[in-house]
Structure formats: structure tokens, C-alpha cells
Structure 1
């Protein structure tokens, strides 16, 4: 018997990550029975891509209860704008339905607490689609830690770099407003905080951080002229905008990659939303640079930084322990890197001994090959041959958001912020 899924938020992410695979790959196991979104045009775009969904009922943003009553889904997939996640998750749990949600699970610690409490009362369970865990290089790092290669983990260094193409895209879209996204310490860095916690098997306890808006907003050094309301498509200042011209030319504009609206371009965009707002608007109220220290309950320390305007994209990682050290460096999106990049490997340095380089077999698919395997676990059930847990639940989602909020609060208040304070409940 097929599992019935209702989609809350018919974003490009929903269509590419979940609806498409359900139609093409997992059609023997999964069925889309309802589409819900604030914008009817998203339903139209989705069905134009997948005509087999032509008869699937459509619902507005406030029609959740009616949707469930009429279509009787088994699982709710939540893939709308970040600030809509918590409401649909809690409503689904109140009806004893399982939930799959895109990261971040919520945009505040308070909403995470509501989800944790709702799940405790419900027969339903929450799965958070943290696909970074599933990239082959990341699962191998987890396995090496589990094998005891580094011993007891004492510290982690993680420096994440986001280039001027990808980084600027967050400041063209809805993400640039904290009320929509929770800021990038939640919307983006929750991925990173989840990875670290999963790798080392420890729960975060406290964070201290600095952060700033260095590149974007009206005071950004690259701003050709201080004025609001510009859009890249029609902006007369774009020949003087280095962020635009690095990826474009006078005759061709490179479209911003947007998981939440990209498909709508063919239909003149969705209503009341454009993904090409000016990165120098005064509306921007989030940071683009963070440096943070996170303390974990079993004593490990994380030194973390992220920068959203750099010449290339990727990360540098080191995991230190009582028996050795793991290192790995990634150069992401090599087509956007203006120099040759090495293959990503994992270097292991025993505390006493010689270096070992570990090569990892690559896999096709989004997020470093992680998406296809995540989807198999979601639609077919966790791989029984895997010897460790990898699917994320509500507690994992809460800790990832909790660290992100603790980082932002620390930036604002200039003090360490505990996870217990942010979540107001022990997960």
C-alpha cells in the first residue's frame, strides 16, 4: 500500500526534492494527494512539470484542516518559507500525523519547543531533512569517529566559505528578513551545527559569538549608490555592481539559483515575490559574517566561522581527539572556482604515527550525493545495513536551530547564551 503525502509549501525545493522523486522514482511506495500553498501559481507550475498530478487537490495556506479531512494523508511534507514550518508541523502532530520538514525545522527556539512538546503528545513523529549528513564524505567522517580513530573528541574547527554568487543570493530573497528566516545563523548554519553534533555524538550546551553585516546592506562597500527598491533585472546601477558583473555580462544576466522560486521564471515569476531584490537594500536586517564558539555537554568545543561573500565556496574541517585528528577541505561548485581544485579527501593524523589519506567514492545527486540516499531512507525506510543512526528527528532539528539562535543572541547581547535558555526545555 502506498503512503499518502500532502505538501505544505509548493516551493522549487518541494518539487525537485520530494514531488519529482515521488512521481518518478518512488511511485510504487509514495503518492502525492494534496498541494497547499499561499500562491495558486505554484500549484500551476508544479502540475505543468508533472502532468500526472493534474487531479491532485489544491489548497490555500489556511486550508490545512480541510486538506487533511478531505485527502487523509499519512505524512505531511513541510517545504514552504522557513517561518511557516512550525505552524504546519504542530498542526500535523496534533492530528497524529508524521511530518517530514525541510531544514530549518523552525526559525526560533520557542517554536522548536512547541514542536518538541507537540510530538511528545502525538502518535506522529518529525523527520528533518538534513541532507548534508548523507554526503559520502560526511558519512565517512562519522564512521571514522565511530571507529575510534580520534578517540574522545575534544575540539572541532569548522570554517565555512560561501562565494559571492551563492552568498549574495540570500540577500536578494526573503531570507534577508530575519522574521522570515531566523537569520543565516539559523537558515544556513543549522546545517553546519547539525553536522558537527552528529559527527561527534554530543549535544550543544552554550554558544558565544560575534557577527556583523559586512558586505551587504546600504553600507556595503560594493554599493554603487545608496537607494532602495532596486531589482537586478531592471537596475541601472548593475554595470557598476561587482556582485552582478562577476557572474554576468552586459548582454547576459546569470539567474540567481533559488530553491523556492526558480521554476516560476518561465511563468513570469510568482505573485508578490521577486528573487532579484538589491543586496544593498536597507530592508536587510541579518548578518553575513559570524565567528562562534560552542561548548558541548561532554566537553568538546567547536570553533566555527561562516562568511557569505568570498571568492570561492567550500569549507575547512578538523576534528581533534585524544587519539588523533581528522582534516578535510572542500571546494564546492568547482565550475565557479577560478583555479584548479584538488579532490576532497580525509586526512587522518594519529596522535603518534604517520598521516593516512582516505579517499571516498563520489556519488551523483544534490548536496554532494546526499539527496538520493536521504530520499531512500525517507520513502523506503532507513537502510538496515547501516550500523548507525542518520535520519534526523525533532530533537536534532531543535538543537541545530537552538545553536543558531544562541549565536545570534550572543551577537546581540555580548554574552554566552545557553541552549537551555533558548529552547526552555531539555531535549
Structure 2
């Protein structure tokens, strides 16, 4: 039975903590966070007494608790520090996406992985969503021929989208911006669906809706009431006095350095072109993906749970295939599963050793983490410079072959 530690005890850690505490194949042996309240809250929820350590004691914790696997759920800009330290201490790593937020972090992680031979896994749970798996099966089978282009539009509604502007994610030097933090999921999906990574990237976008200059157009419906949620109150409101972290910042206050509306063109290796758009202030929540091929078109339309309206309705996915000169065929039209469309449960089973065979290659390693990151980093550089960015340029800085 492999011994696991979780570093970073915010909301996302709940997924891993619950799975580990209830697993017959893995053991949760340590927590690490600078906030003791959050570690105590997780133990209360789980009914456990997992020992807690502060970040300055991370290395000592790994040795004392004989940790085999470290699960990294800390703020994105700190991922590289913990991943590298864990690898060099002889541990394997599971990290929340993104793997890291910048070129330097990628260079350090990849160097440590080569030096130690230990594994880095990235938690790309959307790969495990059954609907996304069906898309991969159809594309791999050549159901619409050779792929020429992909259109991908992701809509975050005015509750979900706004939440990235209340938290530390609003600062690009901590999150990499939405193109690294959020879109990393989407870029990874496209890489996985196509079986190839990015080659050149161009991006346009900016801060249109949130931020202090845009606040005059809106009212206080964007305020978040931590007291109304027992989970958020316990993890954040009651923990504020320890570290001063404010979970519910004003989305229209100064200090926002990320974009909320971005368009990205990506030329993939092999020639496929991705046209991607992320919109973080939509009245609805969901996404649309369309693949144009030499013999037809495959379209996925997903309406996710509505965060803004809190309707309680389950999300729904519709996948349609239309071959040239033939009528459209509905491949599936069904409700989404819980937890990223059912992806969370399947990903956790795989990570904890309970998975079925993986013929579609859902498991994402350090290279998958790098390929998704490269698109986001190149897009950010394109936004900054106004030019088309070659991925080879970034790989040279990281020290990896193009």
C-alpha cells in the first residue's frame, strides 16, 4: 500500500483526501499547509487524525512519514517547488493542473524527473469524462477522415468565471492567467484528441468585464457570501485570521492582471489548426467543440451545470456526426455525470490503482503536462508581444528538444 501526503489543503484537496481516506489500496499519511485551520477542517470532515506539517517542514515530513506519493494542490506558482522537492526526496508526484506556470518551473521539474527517474502525473480529469473518451475513440477510428481544423469555445458563467477574479488566480504571476490555469484543461484535451502538441501560437484578448476599470458597469451581485456555505466558511472564512488570505475579493477591485476574454490560434504538429476562445463572463456555462475532417464533421455541445442560476439541473452533452453528403447522426445525447462529467471518479481510480486498462491513454504524465502548458505560455507571450510564437522557442528556453 503506497503512502500519500497532500500539500495544499484548499478546496481542490477535498477530492484527493476523500478518495485516499476511503481507499483500500492507498494510505493518507500526512497533510502539509501553512494554515492549521484548514488541515484540522479536513480531518474533521474525514473523521481522521492525519498529522499536519507546515511547508518549512515539508522535507522532514516526507522522511518521517515515509511518503511514497505527494499530491500537490497548492497555488499554481508553487507547484514546481513542491514537485521538485518531492522527486528529489524519492517520491512520485501527482499534481493538480497546471504542472507549473512558467518556463523556469518547467525546466526545474523536467530536470528533476530525469535525474531521479520518479514519475510526475498531472490531474487532467477531463480526459476521463466518458463523453470526451467517446470523441477520442471516434477520431482515432477515422470516422470523419483526416482532421483539418478544430473549433473550441468555452463559456464560464458569471458565477464560475467571476470566481477566478476573487481568488489568487486573478494575479498572473501566481496562476499564469486563465490561459495556463483554466485553458490548460482544454489545450490538453485537444492535444490528447489529436495525438499531437502545439507548434505555433497566436493570441488576442484582454480584460473586458472584470477589474477596477470595468466595475462601473456592474452591481454587487458578484459578491460572494462565504457565510452561506459551510464548506467555504470552514476552509476560508474561519481560516483568514491565520494567514490573511481573503477568498472573496471584489472582482472589480484593483489588482487583476489576468484576461477574461481571449482567442487563440494554434497550429499543431501535423498541420491541424485549433481556433480557441475562452469567455469568462457568459450568462450560460458550457462548451462547444467541432472537428472538421476530410469526410465529415464531429460536433460536441455541452451545457454544464449553471453556477450562476443554481438551477440544480444536470448538465447535458450532445455529440453529432455528419459525414459528407449524409444527414447528421446523433451519436449520444445524455446527462453529464457528477464531477467534471464523471471524470473525477475515473481519474482517482486510475491514480489510486483501481483503474481498468487504459487503451485511450487517459493517464497524463509530465510530457502531457508540458504540452498543455506550452500552448498557454506561448499564448501569454503572444498577448504580450503581438507576434506569432513558436513553441520551439519555449522548448529551447526550457532545455527540451523541439
The TM-score bracket by the shorter chain reads over 0.9
Q: Hey, what's the Cα distance between the residues in 2 that align with 1:188 and 1:258?
A: 26
8 Å contact 2:315–2:336 — kept in the other structure? no
Q: Hey, what's the Cα distance between the residues in 2 that align with 1:89 and 1:268?
A: 25
Q: Hey, what's the Cα distance between the residues in 1 that align with 2:263 and 2:270?
A: 22
Q: Which residue is 2:324 aligned to?
A: 351
8 Å contact 2:133–2:360 — kept in the other structure? no
Deviation at 1:387, TM superposition (A): 2.1
8 Å contact 1:328–1:347 — kept in the other structure? yes
Q: Hey, what's the Cα distance between the residues in 1 that align with 2:262 and 2:324?
A: 31
Flag the 1:343–1:167 CA change in 2: closer, same or farther, 3 A. Answer: closer
Q: Which residue is 1:105 aligned to?
A: 99
Task: Calculate the TM-score normalised by the size of structure 2.
Answer: 0.92
CA offset digits 1:203-232 (Å, max 9, x no partner):
1111000010001111115456xxxxxxxx
**2:55 alignment partner, SS class:** coil
Q: Which residue is 2:345 aligned to?
A: 372
Flag the 1:152–1:117 CA change in 2: closer, same or farther, 3 A. Answer: farther
Q: Which residue is 1:11 aligned to?
A: 10
Q: Which residue is 2:69 aligned to?
A: 75
Q: Indicate yes or no: 2:56 matched with 1:58.
A: no
Q: Hey, what's the Cα distance between the residues in 2 that align with 1:51 and 1:342?
A: 32
Q: Which residue is 2:238 aligned to?
A: 267
Q: Which residue is 1:404 aligned to?
A: 376
8 Å contact 2:315–2:335 — kept in the other structure? no
Correspondences of 1:21-100 after superposition (within 5 Å): 21-24=19-22, 26=23, 28-52=24-48, 54=49, 56-100=50-94
Deviation at 1:351, TM superposition (A): 2.5
Q: Hey, what's the Cα distance between the residues in 2 that align with 1:180 and 1:13?
A: 17
Q: Which residue is 1:309 aligned to?
A: 281
Q: Which residue is 1:227 aligned to?
A: none
CA offset digits 1:122-163 (Å, max 9, x no partner):
221011000011111111111111111122221100011111
Deviation at 1:112, TM superposition (A): 1.4
Q: Which residue is 1:237 aligned to?
A: none
8 Å contact 2:320–2:329 — kept in the other structure? yes
Q: Which residue is 2:268 aligned to?
A: 296
Flag the 1:375–1:395 CA change in 2: closer, same or farther, 3 A. Answer: same
Q: Indicate yes or no: 2:241 matched with 1:243.
A: no
Q: Which residue is 2:401 aligned to?
A: 426
Q: Hey, what's the Cα distance between the residues in 1 that align with 2:310 and 2:334?
A: 25
Q: Hey, what's the Cα distance between the residues in 2 that align with 1:256 and 1:138?
A: 34
Structure 2 residues not aligned, in runs of 5+:
none
8 Å contact 2:184–2:372 — kept in the other structure? yes
Deviation at 1:353, TM superposition (A): 2.3
**1:112 alignment partner, SS class:** helix
Q: Which residue is 1:229 aligned to?
A: none
Q: Indicate yes or no: 2:124 matched with 1:124.
A: no
Flag the 1:63–1:258 CA change in 2: closer, same or farther, 3 A. Answer: farther
Q: Hey, what's the Cα distance between the residues in 1 that align with 2:65 and 2:260?
A: 42
Q: Indicate yes or no: 2:130 matched with 1:158.
A: no
Kindly report structure 1 stretches of 4+ aligned residues shifted beyond 6 Å. Answer: 254-259, 338-342
8 Å contact 1:109–1:398 — kept in the other structure? no
Flag the 1:258–1:283 CA change in 2: closer, same or farther, 3 A. Answer: farther
8 Å contact 1:207–1:410 — kept in the other structure? yes
Q: How many residues align?
A: 397
Correspondences of 1:178-217 after superposition (within 5 Å): 178-217=172-211
**1:330 alignment partner, SS class:** strand
Task: Calculate the TM-score normalised by the size of structure 1.
Answer: 0.87
RMSD: 2.4
Flag the 1:111–1:136 CA change in 2: closer, same or farther, 3 A. Answer: same
8 Å contact 2:97–2:124 — kept in the other structure? yes
Q: Hey, what's the Cα distance between the residues in 2 that align with 1:168 and 1:31?
A: 36
Deviation at 1:338, TM superposition (A): 9.4
Q: Which residue is 2:170 aligned to?
A: 176
